[in-house]
Structure 1
Amino acid sequence: MKFRPSGFDIEWRGVFENSEVNALHAECFEHGISASNWWLRANHFSLGWVCVREARTLVGFVNVAWDGEAHAFILDTMVPPAFQRRGIARALMVEAVDRAERAGCEWVHVDFEPHLQSFYFDACGFKPTHAGLIALR
């Protein structure tokens, strides 16, 4: 059975406004609000995305990019501080992993900052792996 925190609506490939995802991204990643076209980008490059709402307010979002076959990639997991520690991020991951599995993916990849290790490994079941990164900026 899927993990569903009470009081929240979870939707795969839910409709969202660019402005609300831009505001959420700015709050969660601590930068100014941009004018990114999330809707176009997600529809063009992603397997899907998960929206979590309380009433009509977007309080959680994650993008699930993929290679079109075996690999899915978790990007931009967002839950604002006022809504953290309520199971929303875990619900995002459960839905994202489930949908990647249903699409036939063999792997779901995620990278994260060290302070999030316990969340991804302990709460979500990801396993440590070797990976490489080249910082371009």
Structure 2
Amino acid sequence: MHEEIRLRFPVDAEELSRLHTDAFAHEFALVPWSERLERHSRSWAGAFVLGRLVGFVHAVWDGGVHAFVLDTAVASDMRHRGVGGRVVAALLEDLRGLGIEWVHVDYEPHLEGFYRKACGFGPTRAGLLRLA
């Protein structure tokens, strides 16, 4: 399997929306990803196998030195092969080169091993409030 990692690549909204649907097991909704990423994200990374998008992550930012990891997604047939770790690592390296000093991520307890061990995030206390 030859995997290619691309940074800040032109995003196909339907392709990324389908990956997101697969990764998060929700109903398909076409999201205007290009507009969203260009407006809010400092960087994004994708993993491609034979031209197919199989992994994705992006980081929104505050316009300064803080960024926040969102939407880490791996195609269901590509999980447990290191794809997620590689796209996150590529994203973090790109953010470092762009002058980002702090990167935050929230995750559910079952993803702690991935984010803490595979990606190197340390523990922190945070609060969460659902508004809807």
Which of the residues 8, 20, 29 maps onto 1:25? 20
Query: Shift in Å at residue 16 of structure 1?
Result: 2.1
- The DSSP-based 3-state class of the residue aligned with 1:112 is coil
1: CA distance between counterparts of 2:129 and 2:121?
Answer: 22
**4+ residue runs over 6 A deviation:** none
Match for residue 44 of structure 2?
49
Indicate the RMSD between aligned Cα atoms, in angstroms: 1.0
Match for residue 121 of structure 1?
116
Aligned residues: 132
Task: Give deviations 1:40-99, integer Å, cap 9, x for gaps.
Answer: 100111101101100110000101111111101100000022101111101011111111
TM-score normalised by structure 2 residue count: 0.96
2: CA distance between counterparts of 1:48 and 1:123?
Answer: 20
Structure 1: which 5+ residue stretches go unaligned?
1-5
Q: Is residue 102 of structure 1 aligned with residue 97 of structure 2?
A: yes
2: CA distance between counterparts of 1:78 and 1:91?
Answer: 12
TM-score normalised by structure 1 residue count: 0.93
2:19 maps to a residue whose letter is L
Q: Is residue 134 of structure 1 aligned with residue 119 of structure 2?
A: no
Identity %: 39
